[in-house]
Amino acid sequence: MANKPLVEAKSIFFEKGGRRIFSSLTMVLNEHDIVIVKGKNGSGKTSFLKCLAGYYSIKKGDILWNGEKIFPVQEPEKIMLAWLGHHNAIKPSLTVRENLKFYADLWSTSQSDFYSSINYLSFSNYLEFPVSWLSAGEKRRLCLIRLMLNPAKVWFLDEPTTFLDVENKKIFEDVISKHVSNGGAVVCATHEELKVKNYKTLNLD
């Protein structure tokens, strides 16, 4: 028997403030999938991700996680995802190590995985720095390390390459490629072209 999709949107309709954002939108996300969500500003890319995650309620249609409808969201623990949005959601007064250790402890990350993720982003020299000392690009790299520590199979990414230079954008592309090769799946809203293989495009324009 074929595995159920990790996430599925069936003809979903969403409106905000009385204005229709999108309608009849359908998507299927399986293991090893990368879905790139495209669209001009205001087309609903971020709203679509938040609907899939259960943060926003849809007007019509169905959203399923592992074959089960999520609305109304009565068991949020069934929605296991990693989220990287516009806001970094890191504590500027804490050090890099303290920020990462909070999540590593939360997710029971092994020490070897903790340090291999830090080294992958060449961040070991920053561990004792307060986050407030970091540049915008360095803060984004810190968020990518946190993403790598997250054990969730499904990643939702909203403009994840913001503030990344060419070298670190390439590292990010390698990170998501490795994640999907290990059975994960990614939905990524972005204006930029990502050099990853075998992705599907969902255009909201």
Burial 91-101 (b: 16+ CB within 10 A, else e): eeeebbbebbb
How far apart (Å, rounded) are the C-alpha atoms in residues 62 and 52?
Answer: 10
Give the integer Cα–Cα distance in Å for 71 and 69: 6
Percent helix, strand, coil in the chain, to 5, is: 35, 25, 40
pLDDT at 78: 58
Per-residue pLDDT of the chain (205 residues; tens, 9 = 90+): 467 899 999 999 999 988 999 999 999 999 999 999 999 988 999 999 999 998 899 999 999 999 988 876 555 555 689 999 989 999 999 999 999 999 999 999 999 999 999 999 999 999 999 999 999 999 999 999 999 999 999 999 999 999 999 999 999 999 999 999 999 999 999 988 999 999 999 999 8
Q: What is the pLDDT of residue 146?
A: 97
- Rounded CA-CA distance 187/20 in Å is 22
Question: 7-16 and 60-65: which strand pairing?
Answer: antiparallel
